[in-house]
Amino acid sequence: MTEAAYETLPELESSETRIGASTVVMKFGGTSVADPEKIRRVAARLVDTKRSGSRVVAVVSAMGYHTDELLDLAHQVSPQPKPRELDMLISVGERISCALVAMAISDLGTAAISLTGSQAGIVTDTVHGKAKIVEVKAHRIHQELDGERIVLVAGFQGVSTEYDVTTLGRGGSDTTAVALAAALGADACEIYTDVEGVFTADPRLVADAQKLHAVSYEEMLEMAASGAKVLQLRSVEFARNHGVKVHVRSTFTDEPGTWIREEDERMLEKALISGVTHTVEEAVYQVDGVRPADLFEALAAAEVNVDTIIQMDSRIVFSAPVEDRHQAEQALAGLEARFAEQHGLGKVSVVGAGMKSHPGVAARTFAALRELGVEPKYVATSPIKIAFYLPQDSVEETVRALHAVFDLGSPAAERQHA
Ligand code: ADP
Ligand code: ASP
Ligand code: MG
């Protein structure tokens, strides 16, 4: 059972082939634009890239924790804000940062223009809070690039087919960037963030985690779906579906980072396991007395993205994103079923394309859990992942133990094979 729900391909306006300069899409996360000094540094990097001869499109996230602050503000005003109004509010953070970057670029003597998601031609469906991109109408961006301007696009947002402002879900600026890279036929999508790339585990948790040189789309899908928030899951789906090469790297250095791209023989040879990912909060529901078809129909109608499903006789256990909790509870309450949410669970997953062809990964993993005395509550697998639902307070020690068991702290884990 895999957790990655793949999206249908959105329409991309066929971009005319432009002879000459190549296009690069560069995305800067919240930490990269957290204060005026950092905004000026991002501006300088964009100007340098433009001067080296590229057509530059930059996608920026809201400054620092601005999105969290706006969400908090909304909840202080209203216990259950209307999704449409929430999108109007939280899309503002990205508008602010992209206007500021454009100002800083102008001060460096280079022309720049900021665009909202809507002005940039990002058309989505009507699902507020986690809208999907259905089309990218890139003519305005092309027009501005033809005018020799650096184009700043507010990430994380679009305009729905009903002409409302929508947002793409937490971390959605990654998806804006990859979608634009696909629509513009960019050479690569550069994701600038506060770590140097994709690591064998969250570097904030595991001190000897190693930066990976390259990760396949499939592995990155599993990693993003199971907690490696360095890339939003949807951005990886989009990149894989459109063959966009993604380069995750640090805003604060010029070091190369991690390439996300097609699987290649050397990736499989070099490592059994690519990473250990985790989440500290999972919404897991146990449901009795309802037919699975009725249950999942109700959840789908409520726009709940069901993740893991386990059925044992007439009992169904499923998980869904924590953000979908309210909708999931409403859908369950509407069914004549007994249900309970299981609190206090987190998840640790071991991901690696190498496990497809090497036996023994499950044996080593379960042996490590036995040694720790950790009892997983549920286990879910895909061909390249084993995921354990376990008590929140054992998540961190389990990540560290599994990272050590597969020797991911050794420099060989990087899989350098440029
Ligand atoms: P941004 O604001 O630039 O979009 P995010 O906070 O969304 O950045 O993502 C970067 C964070 O992802 C890092 O600070 C890191 O703590 C976390 N992270 C979790 N797992 C991983 C991993 N396997 N590799 C790299 N970073 C990871
Ligand atoms: N600002 C949005 C968020 O915090 C989008 C992003 O950062 O990608 O989720
Ligand atoms: Mg992010």
Say yes or no: CB of residue 227 within 6 Å of ligand 2.
Answer: no
Best residue among 176, 193, 220, 280 to mutate for probing ligand 1, ranked by most atoms within 8 Å of CB: 193
Q: What is the largest CA-CA distance in the chain?
A: 68
- Which atom from ligand 2 is nearest to the alpha carbon of 62? 1
* Helix (H) or strand (E) segment spanning residue 47: helix 36-51
pLDDT at residue 417 in the model: 52
Query: Which residues line ligand 1 at a C-beta cut-off of 6 Å?
Result: 29-31, 61, 171, 193-195, 198-199, 201-204, 228-230, 275
Which stretches of 134-232 are DSSP H helices?
139-146, 173-184, 217-225
Helix axes 361-372 and 395-405, enclosed angle (nearest 10): 130
- Say how far apart CA 401 and CA 408 lie, in whole Å: 10
Give the Å distance between the CA of 138 and the centre of ligand 2: 22
Alpha-carbon torsion angle 66, 67, 72, 78, nearest 10: 130
The tokens for 218 are: 């499939």
Chunked in runs of 10, what are the mean pLDDT values of the chain (418 residues)?
48 58 94 98 98 97 98 96 97 98 98 98 97 96 97 98 97 98 95 97 97 94 96 97 97 95 73 92 95 95 93 94 92 91 96 86 94 95 94 97 95 65
Say yes or no: CB of residue 117 within 6 Å of ligand 2.
Answer: no
Best residue among 230, 234, 273, 408 to mutate for probing ligand 1, ranked by most atoms within 8 Å of CB: 230
- Which atom from ligand 1 is nearest to the alpha carbon of 228? 20
**For residue 62, how many other CB atoms are within 10 A of its CB?**
27
Give the Å distance between the CA of 301 and the centre of ligand 1: 32
What residue owns the CA closest to ligand 1's atom 3? 29
Say yes or no: CB of residue 62 within 6 Å of ligand 2.
Answer: yes
The DSSP string of 187-213 is S-EEEEESSSS-BSS-TTT-TT--B-S
Give the Å distance between the CA of 233 and the centre of ligand 2: 13
Ligand at minimal distance from the CA of 38 is 1
Return the amino acid letter for 267: M
CA distances from 46 to 26, 135, 168, 311 (A): 8, 26, 25, 51
* CB 261 within 8 Å of CB 220: no
- Which atom from ligand 2 is nearest to the alpha carbon of 176? 8
Rg for the chain, CA atoms, rounded: 22
pLDDT at residue 5 in the model: 45
Q: What is the pTM of this model?
A: 0.93
pLDDT at residue 101 in the model: 98
Q: Are strands 258-261 and 283-288 parallel, antiparallel or unpaired?
A: unpaired
pLDDT at residue 1 in the model: 35
Looking at residue 20, what DSSP letter applies?
S
Say yes or no: CB of residue 154 within 6 Å of ligand 2.
Answer: no
Side by side, the strands of the sheet bearing 338-342 are: 309-312, 315-320, 283-288, 338-342
What residue owns the CA closest to ligand 2's atom 5? 171
pLDDT at residue 3 in the model: 36
- Say how far apart CA 188 and CA 177 lie, in whole Å: 10
- Say how far apart CA 399 and CA 347 lie, in whole Å: 10
Helix axes 66-77 and 83-90, enclosed angle (nearest 10): 140
Q: Residues 6 or more apart from 29 whose CB is under 8 A from it? A: 61, 173, 191, 192, 193, 194, 251
Say yes or no: CB of residue 169 within 6 Å of ligand 2.
Answer: no
Best residue among 26, 27, 65, 67 to mutate for probing ligand 2, ranked by most atoms within 8 Å of CB: 67
Ligand at minimal distance from the CA of 252 is 1
